Amino acid sequence: MENKLMVKLVVGTEAMFFLALIMAYIYFSLLPGFTSRQADHLDIRSTAIFSAFLFSSSFTFWRAETNFKKGKMTRLKGWLLLTLALGLVFLVGQGTEYARLLKENVSISSSLFGTSFFTLTGFHGLHVLVGLVVISIVTTLTFMGDYDRSSSSVFGTVGIYWHFVDIVWLFVFSIVYVLPHLHKITT
């Protein structure tokens, strides 16, 4: 139980960190150097697709947790591998978007938009990467037979972090991609 408390404390501090980044993004978006023309470089369609992969990974990890509690180790392994694949697709999608933006001369140092965009989404991507590393370790240990009893709290603990990362992306995606797109449609 202590490990769940510790990860909840970590998630709490990370929530404050992301709240500060999101508030900074919103604040900077209201300044004169932050134009809607810069946000036009973002591809909401492709980002929505790789976001769906990340959101789906929350479901697959929940299925892994459920199968672990039921002692269904083969299914647990399958759901863990699927979670890893979905998270990896998200990171590749984000990397592809970054590469395209850099080709279009949108970088962390090119503008206020670039600075705030790359900082916010980059830190989120780093958190996804950390989550994938942890899930990879847990998956490897599962294949080695370390979690053959359903009394361990490791999956619940990792799940708290992984679901948090997905929830944060829901807010980031909505604020960075969806709201400017809706604003553009209504004006």
Q: pTM for the complete prediction?
A: 0.91
Please tell me the distance from the alpha carbon of residue 37 to that of residue 21, in angstroms, as a whole number: 21
What tens digit of pLDDT does each residue of 71-111 get? 899 999 999 999 999 999 999 999 999 999 999 999 899 88
Specify the CATH number for 2-23+45-186; select among 2.60.120.260, 3.10.580.10, 1.10.3720.10, 1.20.120.80: 1.20.120.80
Rounded Cα distance between 80 and 135, Å, is 7
Range 17-45 average pLDDT: 86
Q: Which of 57, 55, 65, 51 is nearest to 82 (CA)?
A: 57
**pLDDT of 31:** 84
Q: What is the pLDDT of residues 148-180, one digit of tens each?
A: 676 788 999 999 999 999 999 999 999 999 887
How far is residue 160's CA from residue 121's CA, in Å, rounded to a whole number?
A: 20
180 phi/psi in degrees, rounded to 5: -65, -35
